Amino acid sequence: MSSARVEPIRPIVAPWAPDSWRTRPAVQMPTYPDKGELASCLDELKALPPLVTSREILGLKQQLADAQEGRAFLLQGGDCAETFSQCSSDTITNRLKVLLQMSLVLVHGLKLPVVRVGRFAGQYAKPRSADAETRDGISLPSYRGDIVNSPEFTEVARIPDPRRMIKAHARSAMTMNFVRSLIDGGFADLHHPEFWELGWVEQSPNAAEYQKMVTAIGDAVRFTEILIGRRMQSLSRVAFYTSHEALLLTYEESQTRQVPRADGWFNLSTHFPWIGMRTADLDGAHVEYFRGIANPIAVKVGPGVTPDALLRLIDALNPDDEPGRLGLIHRMGVGRIADNLPPLLDAVRREGRRVLWVCDPMHGNTESTSNGYKTRRFKNIREEIEQAFDLHAAAGTRLGGVHLELTGENVTECLGGARQLTEADLQRDYRSTVDPRLNYEQSLEIAMLIVRKRGGMSDPQGDS
């Protein structure tokens, strides 16, 4: 049985400002050696135009509210970390293709709208387990993502450089611009799913199932258009939203603005920022920053979070229980989810709090191989998702989405999947500088798994 809360809710009444996080302990943040240069870079960033609009942000909040209520499903995915050098046409289109194909599988199988959110156009800052990295007796500051420093193991490369924030902003804008142009130009048109096909799709073990579905959708579209006597223009465009871990608060503050016809402060660098597991301390700078912005936000929930701590976080981040405001992305690991998730689900349901539950089956399942690669086993990723659906069903809560690290490239970073990748395969095409990602085939397999699992279940709260 779960225990009652130890203290009543105490609303936080302290005033908030885009820079009030500076009064709190800020972990995972670089120390810039040249304060004058930092200040001038931030001034420049504050004057640049925003990357997204408040209208889009509020539109996404509405869609996330739908996912929370079982009327839609969230697909959030992309790279662990974007890099400046991979801001290229192929990387962006391939990632978009995978996300579109996965969402097609989900829409078809779940018979629900899919909310598509990329981990891109700003995913440049990374939390690290240690502030310094030591090699052969030499210690240097850790690499913290391209927005902070450079990965080469030299003193110069590792010095935090504030000009990198301006470059990250520009790269994010280029990525957004290209994604928007592709979509506006009909790339995501449901009349032409062949536009999103990747070269090697025919050889994939999942190809037959995917092609059967594409044919069925094509037939349904043609049938409906004949029946209504016109082409359905709404099928030509889909909405795509962006998200990133808002870790580097100096950058996020510079993009936090008020707009003429909406209340509050918006982070206009992305639609849906999230708080990482290592920065989710209730009294820390990140929670302070996030509580004051009007965007929909999420927080990663790891195995160490107690029910009481989670309820306090919810009080701080969504005191009014606003629909679509708060996503809780649990990332427990396959060995711990069965013990650690149910008490959290029970507490949130018992207190009647309204949140969007999302499963990240990646970050609790990272391991190292004997040949020195950081990897994840497909089997563990699959089982964590399966267990998540079952545990939510048992608790009477609803899993409203998934959060994945994936790429459209045919990399060999995660073990297993339809092609049974082995440890020996990892060296063939391991490209990630941080976490191992699902490749195209493994991603599609996860989408099919979600359909089998969620599609075969009645909605836990029965109102969709």
The minimum distance between CB 403 and Co ion, in angstroms, equals 10
Give me the least distance between CB of 403 and ligand PEP, in Å please: 8
Closest CB to Co ion among residues 146, 435:
435
State the DSSP string of 362-428: STTS-EE-TTS-EE-BHHHHHHHHHHHHHHHHHHT--EEEEEEEB-SS----SBBTTTTB-HHHHTT
415, 377 contact by CB (below 8 A): yes
Question: Residue 108 binds which one of ligand PEP, Co ion, none, with CB within 5 to 8 A depending on kind?
Answer: none
The nearest distance, CB 362 to Co ion, in angstroms, is 7
Tokens representing residue 358 in the block: 């999302």
Q: Does 247 bind ligand PEP (CB under 6 A)?
A: no
Count the site residues for ligand PEP by CB under 6 A.
10
End-to-end CA distance of the chain: 29
Calpha distance 258→18 (Å, rounded): 10
Q: Based on the shown chain and the rule CB under 6 A, indicate whether residue 127 belongs to the binding site for ligand PEP.
A: yes
> Is residue 121 a contact partner of residue 172, using CB atoms and an 8 Å limit?
yes
Q: Does 406 bind ligand PEP (CB under 6 A)?
A: no
Site for ligand PEP (CB under 6 A): which residue of 276, 323, 361, 417? 276
Binding to ligand PEP by residue 80, rule CB under 6 A?
A: yes
Q: How far is CA 325 from CA 12, 21, 125, 287, in A?
A: 17, 20, 23, 14
CA distances from 427 to 98, 119, 273, 432, 433 (A): 23, 25, 33, 12, 13
Query: Which amino acid type is present at position 65?
Result: A
d(CA 226, CA 272): 39
CA–CA separation, 171 and 122 (whole Å):
8
Residues 23-62 vs Co ion: string with x where CB under 5 A? ----------------------------------------
Least CB distance to ligand PEP at residue 443 (A): 16
CA distances in angstroms from 58 to 53, 293, 297, 372, listed in the order given = 9, 12, 12, 44
Pick the binder of ligand PEP from 61, 325, 363, 392 (CB under 6 A): 363
Using rule CB under 6 A, residue 271 touches ligand PEP? no
Site for Co ion in 99-118 (CB under 5 A): none
For ligand PEP, what does the binding mask look like between residues 137 and 176, x meaning CB under 6 A?
----------------------------------------
> Scanning residues 415 to 444, which ones bind Co ion (CB under 5 A)?
435
CA angle 364, 122, 354 (to 5 degrees): 55
Q: How far is the CB of 363 from ligand PEP (least distance, A)?
A: 4
**Nearest distance, CB of residue 302 and ligand PEP, angstroms:** 6
**Which range, of 43-51, 54-62, 205-213, 275-283, touches ligand PEP by CB under 6 A?**
275-283
CA-to-CA distance for 61 and 59, rounded, in angstroms? Answer: 5
Q: State which of residues 168, 277, 287, 310 lies at the interface with ligand PEP (CB under 6 A).
A: 277
**What CA–CA distances, in Å, run from 175 to 253, 298, 402, 435?**
21, 22, 23, 21
The answer to whether 358 contacts ligand PEP (rule: CB under 6 A) is: no
Using CB under 5 A as the binding rule, whether residue 80 contacts Co ion is answered as yes
- Applying CB under 6 A, the span of 148-156, 260-268, 274-282, 332-340 interacting with ligand PEP comes to 274-282
Out of ligand PEP, Co ion, none, which partner does residue 127 contact, by CB within 5 to 8 A per kind? Answer: ligand PEP
- Confirm or reject binding of residue 413 to Co ion (CB under 5 A): no
- What's 172's DSSP letter? H
| Pairing assessment for the beta strands 399-405 and 73-78 based on DSSP bridges | parallel
190 contributes a contact to Co ion by CB under 5 A? no
Query: Which positions lie near Co ion, rule CB under 5 A?
Result: 80, 435
Query: Which positions lie near ligand PEP, rule CB under 6 A?
Result: 80, 127, 245, 276-278, 300, 331, 363, 435
